[in-house]
Structure 1
């Protein structure tokens, strides 16, 4: 029995809970909530607010306020009725404000709850406000009041005319003053020979700005005049209040909008200056790395500028991501749509640019070449004059500038003549075909002699000769010599060939052609006495003798060039 009672009580509580919830659902709303959803309307006389009244479903607030206003104005127009003749008479649950037998308005308990006061107190306050409005209504329509309003409006009109005349004169004076001071300083805006804005267009824009300033000042003066004059007469006072409310509401909306954006603007300014500071600090650091004032192991100084550009993009992207939510209008659908469109266009149209950009950075960090190197990319041989993120510029040996996309360089073969030119040196080679009747030792000695005479071929390491083929008609010899100036390959090659021809002619050894049918009666060589046949001159002979003598003594190419010019002047 003792267990059944608690169980029954628990069941009753569970059954009773839905009923409590149902009663809570149908419970009337709180007064605060009712006040927030109730519709109210102002009762105004000559633009002056008397009080606010509420409405009901069958009699909306606007209609009730308009009816009360009409009855008050009708009583106020009857000057026989004294304003102190108003009375408040309680009738049942309402209080009626009467003007003799005319009911001006009814104050109910609901009206008192709306104002958070008692019904009698609210009726007394409304009656006092109506009495004051009746007195002001009658006073504003007296002959003296209307005459005074007319005089003030006339004076205001005269003041407005004087102000407009003064503003027009001031505008003309300001325009002339700007003409005297700025006309000689206004110049066209352009890029080199392309003119974006002419001086005449800029000057017209300045004139228009001055004129717009004058028109805006006159418009503000006219607005203030209308607000003042319309407020003087009781019939137009409401229009004056509407003008004032229009200006106040516009200023309030602008102020609220600007005030709401001030925190975002401060955040954006902070992000901007912080990003600028970080970029400047990063630039100074990589400038120090490029100038070798800061050194890192396995980090070349030539990498400083490309690395700074990459880090700069990352810093700017990070700052943009942080600043995006604070940009005014970023939450709008139009802004998001434009952002998506720009991103789509960029992704579709920049695939080749992105591949070239990535290839440019890979080339930089893989040490493919640097500015000033002599390289061969595909069929193009030249000096690297600029390495951009998208393309690389080469100047060929014919002084032609060739632009090559970085992705093409990364995906192809690149020959760098400069990377090993200093140590141990770049190997310059050439081949000659000599008949089997000439001893190979003699041929190798003559080739070494020709290499020794050639300016630009190093003596250490010594040139070496390879027998690369035993052909049908001749033995193919390959002369290899070390050079340290890759930019002079063509000149050294040509000079080496000249000395090979001279040495083989000196010793009467014929350089074979690729193929022939039979041996001639005499070797096909140029005898020494014919070396300087016309149009060759003695100047060329003296020059070559000086070069040979200095080459044996180890003279530099600059010394040879000076001596060559001296020989020409002597001749």
Structure 2
């Protein structure tokens, strides 16, 4: 016989018994363990366990086969739906997926789901298979703990985070209704139902957008401490890094945004106005926070950064044209021999025949300079169509030419070199009576000089 263990009186004393009773207890327990081990390692038990393992493997293979067949049928059914039930995915007029792409996408999803189910079945079968044999039961518990431990930690973290999550939901709802209140005010101002002294209706939307951004930023500041991981150094480091990138990477863009906001409140122009910004002339077709887009009379689209608009002077031809009218003006030079009253009459007649020019207020003429050889007459006429200046100028030039040609007057800038010894003066006859002897310059020629 082999001695397995020995007991002393002190061992029995610690367990509040005597040595014989303690030895009998240990002997019974050891005998029971040996009997259990012999039964677990017997051929009969091993045969049962192998049979159970084979059964588990058979069930697993059956499940995998059934899943493969089931998903194969699903795939065949999906292929038959192409062009019938599956006609593609459309978002308004945009085709996100045609029928073939939609079928291919569904087939890919079915394949992924099939393999996930197969992997889940294998993973669940392995603990059962390892739990059959006594010497592999530890592997079974380990495999199960790989799933149960993370799930327990996740569920515990979710449960602990629920108060913060409810707080975030309450804050989001409160700030949402605050934004809706300002949106209501914006809508009322745009409709004209609410009027604020000194506040224009076209300021409502940009002001609302600014207030909305500020409210959302404040909401993020309030919510930030309740977000998971907000106290971790990694989260703080990433936040600082993103802020630095945004600061240095968007310096120019932020300048354009600020300029766009300033332009909005300056009300320098509106959509559709005919303007001249620097050297660019045309109609405003878009005004955003970053750029202002202008369509020229040649149908060219020019994008001007808002910072450039702010640093340039802007001429708006349309802002006052609807009420007081825009003054179209051109200069004509006529010699001193034509009476200025006659020139006024012809220029006003040409303006009256020009389309898109207003008759009230009437056109007016200014003498802008008295040059050495001619007078410069400036014709000024009102129009309420600033976006058609090119056409108006062209028609006006045509009418001026026709009117002066019909009157027998040349539109030119004559240059005279006059010898005043008896030469006729370049003054209208109605203002100057020719004296006797004003026949011109006499030249005496002797025959011997010929």
Q: Give the shorter-chain TM-score range.
A: 0.7 to 0.9
From the superposition, tell whether residues 217 and 193 of structure 1 become closer, same or farther in structure 2 (CA, over 3 Å): same
Please list the CA deviations of residues 81-125 of structure 1 after superposition, one character each: whole Å capped at 9, or x if unmatched. xxxxx9883xxxxx413xxxxxxxx84xxxxxxxxxxx749x9x9
- Which residue is 2:4 aligned to? 74
- Deviation of the 1:374 alpha carbon: 0.6
TM-score, normalisation: structure 1? 0.63
Q: Aligned ranges for residues 166-205 of structure 1 at < 5 Å?
A: 166-183=62-79, 184=82, 185=86, 200=104, 203-204=107-108
Q: Aligned ranges for residues 188-267 of structure 1 at < 5 Å?
A: 200=104, 203-204=107-108, 206-227=110-131, 229-230=132-133, 233=134, 242=142, 247-267=147-167
- Which residue is 1:96 aligned to? 11
SS in 2 for 1:96: helix
From the superposition, tell whether residues 128 and 516 of structure 1 become closer, same or farther in structure 2 (CA, over 3 Å): farther
Instruction: Measure, in 2, the Cα distance between the counterparts of 1:290 and 1:257.
Output: 48
TM-score, normalisation: structure 2? 0.78
Instruction: Measure, in 1, the Cα distance between the counterparts of 2:87 and 2:33.
Output: 61
Instruction: Measure, in 1, the Cα distance between the counterparts of 2:239 and 2:266.
Output: 36
- Deviation of the 1:419 alpha carbon: 0.5
- Which residue is 1:60 aligned to? none
Instruction: Measure, in 1, the Cα distance between the counterparts of 2:63 and 2:260.
Output: 63
Please say if 1:516 is aligned against 2:415.
Answer: yes
1:398 to 294, 298, 301: 298
SS in 1 for 2:11: strand
State the superposition RMSD in angstroms. 3.8
From the superposition, tell whether residues 237 and 131 of structure 1 become closer, same or farther in structure 2 (CA, over 3 Å): farther
Please list the CA deviations of residues 445-497 of structure 1 after superposition, one character each: whole Å capped at 9, or x if unmatched. 22222222222222221222111101011111111111111112121222222
SS in 2 for 1:224: helix
SS in 2 for 1:491: helix
Please say if 1:469 is aligned against 2:369.
Answer: yes
- Deviation of the 1:413 alpha carbon: 0.3
From the superposition, tell whether residues 225 and 415 of structure 1 become closer, same or farther in structure 2 (CA, over 3 Å): same
- Which residue is 2:390 aligned to? 490
2:52 to 156, 171, 174: 156
- Deviation of the 1:127 alpha carbon: 8.8
Q: Aligned ranges for residues 359-508 of structure 1 at < 5 Å?
A: 359-508=259-408
Q: RCO greater where, 1 or 2, for CA within 8 Å and sep 6 or more?
A: 2
From the superposition, tell whether residues 189 and 360 of structure 1 become closer, same or farther in structure 2 (CA, over 3 Å): same
From the superposition, tell whether residues 498 and 251 of structure 1 become closer, same or farther in structure 2 (CA, over 3 Å): closer
- Which residue is 2:435 aligned to? none
From the superposition, tell whether residues 129 and 186 of structure 1 become closer, same or farther in structure 2 (CA, over 3 Å): farther
Gaps of 5+ in 1: 1-70, 76-85, 90-94, 98-105, 108-118, 524-571
Gaps of 5+ in 2: 419-423, 427-450
1:137 to 33, 37, 43: 33
- Deviation of the 1:285 alpha carbon: 4.2
Instruction: Measure, in 2, the Cα distance between the counterparts of 1:285 and 1:412.
Output: 34
Preserved contact between residue 325 and residue 382 of structure 2 (Cα < 8 Å): yes
Instruction: Measure, in 1, the Cα distance between the counterparts of 2:154 and 2:215.
Output: 34
Please list the CA deviations of residues 524-568 of structure 1 after superposition, one character each: whole Å capped at 9, or x if unmatched. xxxxxxxxxxxxxxxxxxxxxxxxxxxxxxxxxxxxxxxxxxxxx
Preserved contact between residue 373 and residue 384 of structure 1 (Cα < 8 Å): yes
- Deviation of the 1:321 alpha carbon: 1.8
From the superposition, tell whether residues 288 and 146 of structure 1 become closer, same or farther in structure 2 (CA, over 3 Å): farther
If you compute each CA radius of gyration, which structure gives the higher value, 1 or 2?
1
Please say if 1:300 is aligned against 2:200.
Answer: yes
